[in-house]
Amino acid sequence: MKTHSIRTRFIAVTVSAVIITMVIVTTLGIIAIRNLGMSGAEQSMLLLCEAGQKTIDSYLSDVEQNVDMVSVYVEANLRGIGDHQLKEHVDFVDDFFKKIISHTGGVMTYYYRIDPTVSSKVKGFWFVKDESGVFVEHEVTDIALYDTSDTSSLVWFTIPKASGKPAWLQPYITDNLDARVISYNTPVYFNGQFVGVIGIELDYSFLKELVNNITLYDNGYAFINDSEGKLIYHPHMDVLSLDTLPSIPDGIAGKDNQLVRYRYDGVNKLSVRRILVNGDFLNVSVPVMEVSKSWQLWADVIIVIFAVLVTVLIIFIRRYTERITKPLMELTRVAEQIDQGNYENKLEYNGNDEIGILTRTFSRVTSNLKKYITDLNDLAYADALTSLHNKGAFDIFISNIQSRIDNPEDSLEFAVCIFDCNKLKKVNDQNGHDKGDIYLKETASVICNVFGHSPVFRIGGDEFAAILIDDDYRNREKLLKQFDESCTEKRNTETAVWEKVDVARGIAVYDPKEDGSVNDVVRRADKNMYEDKWTTRNA
């Protein structure tokens, strides 16, 4: 009877154990890489969609803020509803609206319309942007020809009148211009009586540039649909040329911030969506195949490497059984840790053999994956132009401050300073957007030089913010004076206009007795900034 020596059996067992171990390690490595790759891709989609939402919402919120600001001034200026009083009042609003609208991009029309039941003579005004970008007064729609209690027509007037509150309207064809717009409108009252409507209509194609900047992988893109599931903008479809708006693909309308799978034109895709402030939805869509490519390459490399190593290990197992066992066990442990999301494990083995190659390769793969995830997070929260933190990072930072405010045992002192670049539009219009970018970088440099110990953020196209804490908080008056002097010095320097810094700023100090949230402080700082802007502009 044929027998096998202990050594032979030991080698057989060891070889079997090594093979099994390598299969486990390979499987765990592939699963870990697949999970990490898919998780990273999904996270990048979520972050990209969130960043796009914040960019578009920031613009739409600016429109809301401008219309609401005009509404406040309108109701404060309204002294009566007699024809003579209304005429003087409308002229005042016209002048004020022109100043406000000059800072808002994408506007097609703006208007202030008086209800014909209030006055048959004073109708208000309607300004339309012409081809040269100048707002010219347009003949107004005769509201008296419509039943203003019917909210299916003349929606920009009838819906705010019926609801009695500001409202974003779904896309519609604006009267007399035959153009598709979205609008924000707010009703005006005098002593409880409805007087009229103030509003801004935006050419909805302005979304094109914002949405086209949202891309991922080779064929990932973003699009927008309304609350009824109709496409508002799609980078691969000329929606404007269609008689009716097309519907989004079946299965794509999931919950906000939730990844969904769907199939369109024979391609499996992943999509995530977030709701915008006007009720529309921003969607980011990527083919599943492209998402899978982010981890399949690494999986193929590991499979090849492990296959080669198994062959080598079988040949040399008789001499290196004990030496191989320990590092293989260590690799298994680390692979399991990686599968659980722990990347901080260190592999100690550094021999110049096959297991050493495997160990170093595995470490590099882990390090590259960790760097890949970190780079994605850094990219999502960094402003590409100024290298400052972006609006998403600002929201996270103030959320952390809010958590400290909500903790009664945490005593916190801080101030928020909001900065807004004056004359940026003029620099862009007269010198080009590349010079406008220089202007923004110069502004960011001045802010960072003065508030060097505080986090500084770019929260809008021409808006920055700094959170003053510790020494910067205690020395805020001195720093503000230094900032003003730096701006004055820049403005008085004999350099190009885009290298001068002309910035309005407003600061608000957190008062626990008055401020219920960080947003209260931010709003006061923003208000103070606008007061500074108007003061310096009218000086």
Each residue of 118-134: pLDDT tens digit? 998 999 999 998 888 88
Query: Residue 481 pLDDT more than 90?
Result: yes
User: What percent of the chain has pLDDT above 90?
Assistant: 30
DSSP H helical segments within 241-390, as ranges?
288-339, 354-380
For residue 1, name the pLDDT band (cuts at 50, 70, 90).
Answer: very low
The pLDDT assigned to 157 comes to 92
pLDDT value, residue 40: 76
Tokens describing residue 463: 């808006």
Region 366-371: mean pLDDT is 60
Tell me the β-bridge partners of 199: 111, 185
Residue type, 308: V
* pLDDT number for residue 525: 95
Q: Mean pLDDT across the chain, nearest whole number?
A: 83
Domain with CATH 3.30.70.270 in the chain: 391-538
> Comparing C-alpha atoms, which of 278, 240, 355, 268 is closest to residue 309?
355
Distance from C-alpha of 417 to C-alpha of 456, rounded to nearest angstrom: 9
Report the C-alpha dihedral over residues 28, 33, 34, 36, rounded to 10 degrees.
Answer: 120
The region of weakest confidence among 175-189, 270-284, 312-326, 513-527 is 312-326
> What confidence tier does 376 reach under pLDDT thresholds 50, 70, 90?
very low
Q: Which residues contact 413 (CB under 8 A, 6 or more apart)?
A: 469, 473, 510
CATH superfamily for 391-538 is: Reverse transcriptase/Diguanylate cyclase domain (3.30.70.270)
Cβ atoms within 10 Å, residue 134: 9
Q: What share of the chain is helix, strand, coil (3-state, %, to 5)?
A: 50, 20, 30
